[in-house]
Structure 1
């Protein structure tokens, strides 16, 4: 995007003597002059513009023909990242330059807003994975599907196939509004307050691909739900809408802003504002405009909405939103009720129309493209054309007639997607890890899958006594794509020293969690000084700490509550007198 093409800055003002001597790079305060290399390339040419070059130049000339700035910058606006070159160990992640880490293959992220897929779309994704991506497909915890081993030469054909069935990779990555999280049971759940799909679609149709919102300070994440289980992890998104009932105005949404994890986690905050359904798109545009114009662009590690919220506070952010970006103020509104029900929607559940939806567990999100194709077949032969991935790396099949439920349950079991999974399979998530990610230090999916099998064998008989899903999230680096600070047991990949030797392993976070039934208040996990787990020791540690929890807990006490009150000796899983 050129300077002339740059979106207008609302509320711009001149700097004063009270302005910090070193500018934050806020467009509305400091002007739009770029203060780092990322801002320079975005100002010179917007990320959306690279598609034409991919189709007409790079796909023809191959990987060697790609301009480095496009490759490491603008490609993200179309869901493309180079993947990690095989054989580079985690100790070299921070030592090598990005071009030294990268392979000549790409990860391609398919944007699936609200997790809403048809079986036709799922079959196309499965076919692309099988034909172009070595039959690998990852379900992420943001309801996307990620494909690997993609060649630049094949991208135009992949786009053609996706777009022919209404899918896109537009703004799936980059400094843009990323994929919108939505309730996976929107429009079908018996107990939902409101179906947010019309509001979700309005925002996507109006703003995704709009250059005015395609150059944000950094990535920008949105969530919307109408379900009482609060099933879209709203506390860790930049902008979230959570259904509530206003005593005078009826059903609408409570507005949350400024949540995110990564290396500096911060839970989002309520602005105390009530948003009627007809104003959701307007308010989303306003909050996004505040971030675009006032977000900190000078330092990439300070460029998320959470840092602006930390400095301004919720009251000022709401004031700027209402006075500079909205046509009229928002009414005050109530907070969401305490959550009810399970947000991952695993199991068999009756829909409002009398049919059923069935939620199944993947194994840490890793599937084959052929499995996706077979899943589409299973759904269709049993009367369904709708599939929905969730924010917990689970998959739902909607609209199953009652007399076909058991057929689907059995078919899912055959695909390795149980709808009655063990507590450990249900509660474990993992990010991409060192297999493909250039930021990773440690393997994740293989280690986590192996840990699930070991825990099922060692602790499976204790599931009735455990009585809850203990979440185990495994991440390959500090960036928390697998939400480690909000898990009962969160493992952050790093090199660790054990018995004097440096090996791949994990730092441990314990007792984190977002709002859910039985725990209405979200909270971040605590770390235990000096506690490190080797990469091949996930199950050993989890078994020790779970057994200690069972021995020490009070009646009805959750793992998270226990983890926050227990002493460090207990959290190391060391066997005390009570645990023997």
Structure 2
């Protein structure tokens, strides 16, 4: 039995494919190819609904929504040993729960042991935060749960969620009670369901915002999260909506995304993208070329989700993402099916949104449209803690605010800060390790959960990435970096930390260096998305044979960044990604 996720977490899923890494000297936008198989793909509207594998069988018996009752009435009282294996390894995820990795199992055994041999009797719990919108009351509740039940753990993910660890099944009902009392939930935070809806972290407050997408996010989540008709999708379904011109929700790697655009006749609405996703068979989303009015957004979202449910491939889980269906159909057929079978009307043609001119991480101090300011801060690789979050809530309130946002870049944004309290707030956040003026290396570094908690991981991530950031801040202090350098560190072949869309992406694996097998990373170079100072989104270049030891991240990054600064064409303001795709392999070693 296999499970599914590509967020910073621990799961029982396996990579989507085992393709050998490609060597490329130019930007890539897709590595998914249409299928030529003559076998049925398990598409419900084509092949019928008879399950073609064990995973589909148990989902048809019980997709997971009802397991909450068993957790509350049976498992929380009987303890870990009382949990039915199919519930444990399958249905629990629908409520944001995965067993975490048992300590002491090295990365070399990840692929040789079964999930139950890797797992501990504790859970990762994912708190779903749609649009990244939080109040200080909610933050304080999460902090209290972390401290009381999760050994102070708390990680900001690159999908705007917060994850806790060391959670016991006995404590889950009380945790749910506390979360729901302040308007939070874990419903469908994981599993083959509609996951968290990413939203602009500055929705409703940015001075340069085109449209506030909050109403659209709220309509989607209130109508469809927990809807039994969407609780058995082929795999995960990831969504994003932004009204900000920085396109700050990594829309190119979501199954469905809505990007604000101004239509010359119809006004402000959204440009629709479908079919993005990374993992081991990455593909960037594509525009359908339609314009979606704000009041049609939920309807169109529902149509795309139903296409995935009815036509998505279910026979092989490594081909069950929407990106594989899009590769098979193309955008013209996808649009035709959406309009004729699910919407019942045509959508108007629409223009593409302009290329962003500012970064989408919102780090630093920025003016709001009401005259106050928002402050974006950078914890190192998203690692915080219960006590840190509790203190953060106190600091925010002491400076006249009660609102903050999480971001798709493992950052935090504090809203509504009066001018006369800005300096004090920035100083106190900095004392918490939340810098609003971070180095360009710290600002651009993210990391997945890694071997500390994740059952898929081969290599530690957060500790090595943190050490590398601190070293690089010293080593590169005298260099004039023209842009942030994104360094993404992942503990396995999946892409929880979006390695293919980073300037320097590191994929965890065992590597042989000087004849010895050690934990390390394969290197991807020159990836990026529209919100990361890229003129055009593209996947990174993989140089075969280029590998780095886990404790050698700083050495390699210093070497390649120094070479970039020496070789770049300053006259054209050449970016790291542009240089990495034109450089000779020798320059990238």
Normalized against structure 1, the TM-score is what? 0.94
Report how far residue 342 of structure 1 moved.
Answer: 1.6
Match of 1:110 in 2: 127
Report how far residue 520 of structure 1 moved.
Answer: 2.4
Cα deviation digits, residues 278-315 of structure 1 (max 9, x gap): 10000000000000000000000000000000000000
Q: Is the 8 A contact 2:501 2:528 kept in 1?
A: yes
Match of 1:347 in 2: 364
Match of 1:414 in 2: 431
555-564 or 429-438: which moved more? 555-564
Equivalent position SS for 1:147:
strand
1:525 matched to 2:540:
yes
Cα deviation digits, residues 201-234 of structure 1 (max 9, x gap): 0000000000011110000000000000000000
Cα deviation digits, residues 22-64 of structure 1 (max 9, x gap): 1100000111111111100100112101000000000000000
Equivalent position SS for 1:262:
coil
Give structure 1 regions of 4+ aligned residues with deviation exceeding 3 angstroms.
none
1:79 matched to 2:79:
no
Matches within 5 A, 1:320-335: 320-335=337-352
Match of 1:46 in 2: 63
Cα deviation digits, residues 124-167 of structure 1 (max 9, x gap): 00000010000010000000000000000000000000000000
Matches within 5 A, 1:174-185: 174-185=191-202
C-alpha change, 1:20 and 1:85, in structure 2 (3 Å) is closer
Report how far residue 341 of structure 1 moved.
Answer: 1.6
Give the one of 505, 509, 518 matched to 1:494.
509
Match of 1:278 in 2: 295
Equivalent position SS for 2:195:
coil
Q: Is the 8 A contact 1:338 1:517 kept in 2?
A: no
1:536 matched to 2:554:
no
CA distance in 1, matches of 2:115, 2:442: 34
Match of 1:10 in 2: none
Match of 1:578 in 2: none
CA distance in 2, matches of 1:495, 1:471: 23
1:545 matched to 2:554:
no
C-alpha change, 1:46 and 1:518, in structure 2 (3 Å) is closer
Normalized against structure 2, the TM-score is what? 0.93
Equivalent position SS for 2:126:
strand
1:571 matched to 2:584:
no
| RMSD of aligned Cα (Å) | 0.9
Give the one of 146, 165, 172 matched to 1:129.
146
Report how far residue 357 of structure 1 moved.
Answer: 0.3
Match of 1:4 in 2: none
Runs of 5+ in structure 2 lacking a partner?
1-35
Report how far residue 467 of structure 1 moved.
Answer: 1.8
Cα deviation digits, residues 443-463 of structure 1 (max 9, x gap): 00000000001001111121x
CA distance in 2, matches of 1:387, 1:411: 15
Equivalent position SS for 2:413:
strand
Q: Is the 8 A contact 2:250 2:531 kept in 1?
A: no
Give the one of 403, 408, 416 matched to 1:386.
403
Runs of 5+ in structure 1 lacking a partner?
1-18, 573-580
Match of 1:16 in 2: none
The answer to which structure, 1 or 2, has the higher relative contact order (CA under 8 A, 6+ apart) is 2
Report how far residue 419 of structure 1 moved.
Answer: 0.4
Report how far residue 21 of structure 1 moved.
Answer: 4.4
Equivalent position SS for 1:24:
coil
Report how far residue 387 of structure 1 moved.
Answer: 1.0
